Structures are given as structure tokens and as C-alpha cells.
Amino acid sequence: MRHEVMFSGFGGQGVILSAVILGKAAAIFDNKYAVQTQTYGPEARGGASMSAVIIDDEPILYPEVTVPDIYVIMSQQGYDKYGADAEKNAIMLIDSDLVHSKPECRYVEIPATKTAKDELGRVIVANIVMLGALVTATGVISKEAMENAVLSSVPKGTEELNMNALRSGFKLGAIGGKNP
């Protein structure tokens, strides 16, 4: 089954790394086909950035996302630029602390930044929290594939922090983003 996943946020939030990890999880650890692309403005850190992944069971012939069916939005600026026109049948995960608009498609509010800051002590892992939520909210890839991809992608010495962030995201995505 084909999925077109678009990540957006501001530069420095790790949206490009998130897409790379998702693509790696799909292609290397879930035996699917995957293609990843990215866009960011000249302002880079702080400006809107976007990264996308196509995941399919069949070879991917065109590498650009045309109509995303899954969005992961981590900033209001990212929503305004890349998520505001989402198709009504898409699903969108939004960082409830940083995105204030409510899309017309189905959406799940994930307190990724708050969870990363308050529970994990490092706001920098908010993107990993969102990856965990993405897996359980959509089933786009397996938990095991995502765990392996995260472990193989993060800097040495940060594995425990990132796995805790991922597991927090798994819980948030499974319960629709609400804190238990």
C-alpha cells in the first residue's frame, strides 16, 4: 500500500532527519520501497522546512510526493506553508504546543514538544516523539522497524534518550495524543 508522508516544521526541529529515519525504517527494516526528498529555505534554521517520504510495497517510479495522505506538522509556519491545503481524506499529526490551526482533515494532536521538554528533559527529541506517534497513529510501518531505524541513526550515547522519546510517542499516538 502506497503512503505519501510529508513532514514540516521550522529548521532545527529535525523534520529532515525524521523523514530520513522513516525512509530507512521502511526500506531497510520493513522490506518496503521508500524515497525521501527535502526542501528548506535559505534561512535554514528557523525557517519553514519540509521533508517527504513515499513508502510503497511496489517500486516507486516517481520520487516526488504529489498528494500526501499523512502529514506530520511541527510548527505553525510549517502548517501554513505545507499543511493548510491537506486533502480531506488525509491524516495529520500536529504538535499541539506549536500548531494552533485545526485542519479540515482528520488530525491527532500530539504534545511532542511538551513531552520532550517536560518528561525527557530535551526538547531536541520532539521529532522522535512524533515518529513514535506516527507509527501507532497510522501503522505506516512497524514499531520494530522504527526502533531499529532510530537506533541506527542517532548519535552514540543518545540511544537511551531517543528510545525513551520514541516509546513516549508510541503511547501518545496510540491514545490519540492525550496524556494518560
Within a domain: 179: no
Measured CA to CA, the distance from residue 71 to residue 94 in angstroms comes to 8
Residue 148 within a domain: yes
In this prediction, residue 180 has a pLDDT band, given cuts at 50, 70 and 90, of very low
> DSSP letters of 19-60?
HHHHHHIIIIIS--EEEEEEEE-TT-BTSEEEEEEEEESS--
Whole-number pLDDT of residue 46: 64
Count up the domains in the chain and report the number: 1
Q: What is the pLDDT of residues 157-169, one digit of tens each?
A: 999 999 999 999 9
Give me the CATH number covering residue 105.
3.40.920.10
Span 18-71, pLDDT tens digits:
999 999 999 999 999 999 998 766 555 567 789 999 999 999 999 889 999 999
Specify if 180 maps to a domain: no
Range of the domain at 156: 3-174
pLDDT tens digit string along 87-117? 999 999 999 999 999 999 999 999 999 999 9
Q: Is the alpha carbon torsion for 108, 111, 112, 113 positive or negative?
A: positive
Phi, psi of 76 (to 5 degrees): -65, -40
Residue partners of 93: CB distance under 8 A and separation at least 6: 70, 71, 72, 73, 107, 108, 110, 130, 133, 134, 137, 173, 177
Predicted TM-score (pTM) above 0.85: yes
Nearest to 170, CA basis, from 106, 161, 139: 139
Amino acid residing at 97: D
